[in-house]
Amino acid sequence: MSGIDHPQISSSPSPPETEDDEAHLFYHSNTSCDPDISEHHSAMDMLCCHSVQDSLLSSSSCFTNYRGILNWIIILLILTHAHLFLENFIQHGFLIDLRKVLEHLMQDNYNWPSVNLILAANMFAITALLLERRLQKGGLSSSTGHWLHLANLGLLALFPSLVILYDSSISTGGAFFSLWSYITLGLKLYSYQETNRWYRQEHVICSDLYYFLLAPTLCYQREFPSTPGVRINILLHRLMEMVLLAQIMVGIVQQWVTPLFQQSENYFSNMDLTGQVGMLVGLVAPTHFLWLLFFFLFTHSYLNFCAELLCFGDRKFYGDWWNAQTLASFWRNWILPFEKWKNRHLYTPLLRHKVSPKQAELLVFLLAAALCEYMVALPLHNCRLWIFLTMVFELLVSVCLGRYFRGNYGNGMVWLCLLLGPPLAVMTYFHDNYVSHHHYHHHHHHVGQCRPGLPAAFTT
- How high is the pLDDT of residue 438? 58
- How high is the pLDDT of residue 439? 55
272's enclosing H/E stretch is none
The answer to whether the beta carbons of residues 453 and 434 sit under 8 Å apart is yes
Counting beta carbons within 10 angstroms of the beta carbon of residue 403, is it exposed (0 to 12), middle (13 to 18) or buried (19 or more)? exposed
The answer to whether the beta carbons of residues 309 and 230 sit under 8 Å apart is yes
Alpha-carbon distances, residue 364 vs 48, 181, 184, 341, 434 (angstroms): 62, 21, 17, 11, 32
DSSP, collapsed to helix, strand or coil, labels residue 226 as strand
The answer to whether the beta carbons of residues 373 and 183 sit under 8 Å apart is no
Cα(456)–Cα(460) distance, integer angstroms? 8
- How high is the pLDDT of residue 7? 40
Q: How many CB atoms lie within 10 A of CB 207?
A: 7
- How high is the pLDDT of residue 400? 83
β-strand partners of 312:
226
Looking at residue 312, the DSSP 8-state letter turns out to be: B
Cα(113)–Cα(160) distance, integer angstroms? 11
- How high is the pLDDT of residue 283? 80
Q: How many CA atoms lie within 13 A of 304 on its CB side?
A: 22
Q: What are phi and psi of 411, to 5 degrees?
A: -65, -40
Looking at residue 432, the DSSP 8-state letter turns out to be: H
The answer to whether the beta carbons of residues 155 and 124 sit under 8 Å apart is yes
Q: What are phi and psi of 203, to 5 degrees?
A: -135, 140
Alpha-carbon distances, residue 283 vs 89, 221, 286, 304, 373 (angstroms): 16, 43, 6, 30, 20
State pTM to two decimals: 0.76
Query: How many residues are present in the chain?
Result: 460
The answer to whether the beta carbons of residues 379 and 179 sit under 8 Å apart is yes
Spell out the long-range contacts of 94-101 with Cβ–Cβ below 8 A and sequence spacing 24 or more: 94/255, 95/254, 95/255, 95/258, 95/259, 95/460, 96/250, 96/251, 96/254, 96/255, 97/254, 97/460, 98/247, 98/250, 98/251, 100/254, 100/456, 100/457, 100/458, 100/459, 101/250, 101/457
pLDDT along the chain (460 residues), means of 10: 42 44 42 54 68 78 79 82 78 73 58 83 94 86 90 94 87 86 94 82 76 94 90 94 90 82 69 71 83 92 95 93 89 92 93 91 91 86 82 85 81 87 72 62 46 45
